[in-house]
Structure 1
């Protein structure tokens, strides 16, 4: 019986393991809904739970791409879906943070507006030029994601953030400028462009090296 169970598990894993990346991607959609619900209802330990979901969501974001590339299922469609759900996840986290700590957002309305405007501008440029959303997955943008996570966790748990929020703001502006520059430089839509330097190489028709952990 034990051998039969083990054999069945092996068959199941072999048959469905290729779906792991997309399950990790969609898990962030579920986390988004839970974060918003907890932010609205604010039950006991909701701050800890939301912080845990944010960290877990970031981990799934890191590993969905790595696993997809290892399994050979990293397609353009999957990367575009990844980018789309990432936006939903982080926007949900931002809305949740606002519901928890409205005063912080009122005090930093201008900076937040500039940052969100810069993010929106990257999508406007991409849609105007390529009729597609942004999916560059630049390495520097991944660094910005870490600062977003740290800032949101601090805001959710303390309703305050000083130098960490400032760091997040400036890194965010720099990375949005880089993405816009990448979009302007490349002649056709590309996903997984590691940096501005790589965009210049692509424009010149030269091959680029992508980090296996971050860009396949």
Structure 2
């Protein structure tokens, strides 16, 4: 049975992102764009903080990785809802590119749930770079205006990251967390053991 004592400081930053989601949705509902963007910035910041603390304090765990991934997904979804609401014209103009960019991500999620019965938590370098670009683009669009250079960089990196995730899913017979990328996966003893079992 899990109690509050079972969670570490990095986990609580992930919990913050999850708990902040309804509040952020409320700010969208009341049309508070700048306040929404400001609190979204805080949520994005906690993502960087919890990962740093987990590595620095050596408190990483499969449960923490999964909790972090769930917090990331919730925050990304809320950020996208905000972008759709506050920048409707931009979304309408670029809906084809957005659909092309997000279709592989949906496929990746479906493959992961079919194979592992849960989302991936590889936390690759490319995934971290993609998350940074997503947050930079969304925040820049909300505080100022959508920037097409940032938009296309975000799309390209996001597609590369999604295809890497799909490749890693097929490389790991069983769920694994904290894989830096395809190169590191080839040398990962966990993957080799999974293949032998």
TM-score (norm. length: structure 2) = 0.85
Deviations 1:156-213 (A, max 9, x none): 134432111011001100111111111112232211110011112227739xxxxxxx
Gaps of 5+ in 1: 1-15, 207-216
CA drift of 1:119 comes to 1.3
Write the distance in 2 (CA, Å) between the matches of 1:74 and 1:150.
26
Aligned residue-pair number: 189
Aligned mates of 1:160, 1:131 — CA distance in 2 = 36
Structure 1 residue 100 displacement after superposition: 0.9
Q: Which residue of 2 aligns with 1:195?
A: 181
* Structure 1 residue aligned with 2:14: 25
RMSD over equivalenced CA pairs, Å = 2.3
* Match in the other structure for 1:42: 31
Tell me, which stretches of 5 or more residues in structure 2 are unaligned? none
2:14 and 2:68 in contact (8 A); partners too: yes
Residue 128 of structure 1 pairs with residue 114 of structure 2: yes
Give the structure 2 partner of residue 177 of structure 1. 163
Q: Which of 131-140 and 196-205 deviates more? A: 196-205
What is the rounded CA distance, in whole Å, between the counterparts of 2:162 and 2:123 in structure 1? Answer: 12
CA contact (8 A) 1:36 1:93 kept: no
Aligned residue among 68, 84, 98 for 2:70: 84
Alignment partners' CA distance in 2, 1:202 and 1:131: 22
Give the drift of 1:143.
Answer: 0.6
Partners in 1 of 2:19 and 2:31 — Cα distance?
A: 18
Displacement of 1:23: 1.7
Task: Please give the TM-score of this superposition, normalised by the length of structure 1.
Answer: 0.78
Largest Rg, 1 or 2: 1
- Residues 18 and 75 in structure 2, CA contact (< 8 A), matched pair in contact too: yes
| Residues 60-71 of structure 1 aligned to structure 2 (within 5 Å) | 60-71=46-57
